[in-house]
Amino acid sequence: PATPSPSRRSQPTLLVSRLYQPANLRDVGQDSRLSVEMTCKSQRLMQQAGLIHPSNPGCYYYLPATVRSMEKLVRVIDQEMQAIGGQKIDMPSLCSADLWKTSERWDLMGKELFRLKDRHDADYCLGPTHEEVVTTLIAHQANLSYKQLPLLLYQITRKFRDEPKPKFGLLRGREFYMKDMYSFDVSEEAAYQTYESVCQAYTQLFARLGLRCVQVQADTGNIGGKLSHEFQLPADIGEDRLLVCGSCSFSANVETMSSDISACPQCKTGTLVESKGIEVGHTFYLGKKYSHIFKASFSNAQNKPSIAEMGCFGLGVTRILAAAIEVMSTEEGIRWPGLIAPYQVCVLPPKKGSKADEAGVVAEELVHSLGNTLPHLRGEVVFDDRTQMTIGKRLKDASRLGYPYVIVVGQGALEDPPTFEVMCQQTGETMFLSKDGLLDLL
């Protein structure tokens, strides 16, 4: 017999008792290899709620809820990158040292580069970023025409950096996910336009996530190039110091200033206010730095070879996840940007043996009808079947993981007409709604 297609198969109920989300704070105590300093809120909350588990310094197990959230974040990033013409690729993480020696970054990167040798004694590194690799790809292409530019290639892959101080959980790992995009343009002017459109896409991405983000002038570091901006989420634990003018649009990372000055270099009158930020994205206008070295050229309108103008654009995918938790959450529980919450709804049936016990059936029916009536909630509704626990205890767990909506099915569900208690995380409101009211809300 034919197997039903996945979309037609009925979705199994997600039971809290079966979800793998081990609260793992106490587990790490004995093992010094695992005993990370709990230095920030997002790391503590993510370990308490069973979202991540430390493996070795700067490396984590991403547990199911994290993977779900990451997949959602990747989807939003894909939408924004593809809306400006980005095409997704996937490049090797194992990179030949030859490329890095050619760009002279083999030495420049110092200890941050994870280096290894293959069986033939050839040098390799684990990619911390991919300017060399992607430019080589373009250089290999003999017949790239100006008609194919701008070309925007991006990937979302693991990056490896031997950070001097991996810390703050997913905020600074040694192995982490980055979205890195590389652009190839016919001229400096065209490259600036591409640069601008990527910055706008970043701004749009953070707006969709509901995260306040500031775009500041930044240093180009060892990537090199002429123009650069960082996208920073204001937060006290942020490691970057930002200067923002109170009177005009000027904003910059302190690293770009030769001395610390207090008057705005742009309007000359405004005072600069200092704050801290978490760098979640970084854009660079590279010019011909890499395309010249690797001879990445295209044939121009006169059918002559011409060196491409390049840009590169990073987003810290795992860092965005942790930074969102860091800036949105309370000390007691995680608050997510709605778009990337691992699950949208949690339904709580009454405690076994309580007066409202019979409402358990209504709760189960509710879970099924939410998934069946509202397609966007398919696979998004969790049923907290741990009915030996009080509602209060389960509510506390729900609040720790941070579902955008929690529905308590109690005595009200047995009345005529039935009502449900709904807690909306974003507004902090509690409402008593009929089933139709509930479907409208969700």
Contacts with ligand ATP, residue ranges (CB under 6 A): 129, 161, 163, 172-173, 176, 178, 279-282, 314, 316, 318-319
Q: Which two tokens stand for residue 97?
A: 């040292």
Which C-beta is closer to ligand ATP: that of 317 or that of 328?
A: 317
Q: What are phi and psi of 71, to 5 degrees?
A: -60, -35
Which one of ligand ATP, Mg ion, none interacts with residue 318, CB within 5 to 8 A by kind?
ligand ATP
Q: What are phi and psi of 109, to 5 degrees?
A: -70, -20
Which one of Mg ion, ligand ATP, none interacts with residue 176, CB within 5 to 8 A by kind?
ligand ATP
In one-letter notation, the amino acid at residue 205 is L
- Dist. CA 408–CA 427, nearest whole Å: 17
Which one of ligand ATP, Mg ion, none interacts with residue 178, CB within 5 to 8 A by kind?
ligand ATP
Which C-beta is closer to ligand ATP: that of 224 or that of 338?
A: 224
Residue closest to ligand ATP when measured from CB atoms: 316
Which C-beta is closer to ligand ATP: that of 59 or that of 301?
A: 59
Which C-beta is closer to ligand ATP: that of 129 or that of 419?
A: 129
For every residue of 9-40, DSSP letters joined together read SPPPPEEGGGS-----TGGGSS-TTT-----S
For every residue of 302-348, DSSP letters joined together read TS-EEEPEEEEEEEEHHHHHHHHHHHH--SSS----GGG-S-SEEEE
CB of 162 to Mg ion, least distance (A): 11
Which one of Mg ion, ligand ATP, none interacts with residue 319, CB within 5 to 8 A by kind?
ligand ATP
SS3 433: strand
- Dist. CA 21–CA 23, nearest whole Å: 6
Which one of Mg ion, ligand ATP, none interacts with residue 16, CB within 5 to 8 A by kind?
none
Q: Is there binding between residue 394 and Mg ion (CB under 5 A)?
A: no
- Dist. CA 46–CA 196, nearest whole Å: 35
Which one of Mg ion, ligand ATP, none interacts with residue 152, CB within 5 to 8 A by kind?
none
Please state the separation of Cα 67 from the chain's center in Å. 11
Q: Which 150-179 positions form the footprint of Mg ion (CB under 5 A)? A: none
SS3 274: strand
Which C-beta is closer to Mg ion: that of 315 or that of 347?
A: 315
CB of 112 to Mg ion, least distance (A): 7
Residue in 312, 87, 300 with CA at minimum distance from that of residue 191: 312
CB of 386 to ligand ATP, least distance (A): 34
CB of 212 to ligand ATP, least distance (A): 16
CB of 172 to ligand ATP, least distance (A): 4
What would the x/- binding string for Mg ion be over residues 233 to 272, using CB under 5 A?
Answer: ----------------------------------------
CB of 433 to ligand ATP, least distance (A): 40
CB of 348 to Mg ion, least distance (A): 43
CB of 77 to Mg ion, least distance (A): 17
Which C-beta is closer to ligand ATP: that of 57 or that of 210?
A: 57
- Dist. CA 55–CA 276, nearest whole Å: 29
Q: Which stretch binds Mg ion (CB under 5 A): 34-42, 276-284, 285-293, 335-343?
A: 276-284
In one-letter notation, the amino acid at residue 220 is T
Sign for the pseudo-dihedral over CA of 150, 156, 162, 168: positive
Residue count, binding to Mg ion (CB under 5 A): 2
In one-letter notation, the amino acid at residue 250 is F
CB of 258 to ligand ATP, least distance (A): 19
- Dist. CA 125–CA 106, nearest whole Å: 9
Half-sphere exposure of 186 (CA within 13 A, CB side): 13
Q: Which stretch binds Mg ion (CB under 5 A): 37-45, 273-281, 305-313, 391-399?
A: 273-281
Kindly tell me which residue out of 72, 282, 351, 435 binds Mg ion, with binding defined by CB under 5 A. Answer: 282
- Dist. CA 370–CA 377, nearest whole Å: 7
CB 333 within 8 A of CB 346: no
Q: Which two tokens stand for residue 258?
A: 């030769």
Q: What are phi and psi of 302, to 5 degrees?
A: -90, 10
CB of 255 to Mg ion, least distance (A): 8
Which C-beta is closer to ligand ATP: that of 232 or that of 425?
A: 232
* Residues contributing to the site for Mg ion (CB under 5 A): 279, 282
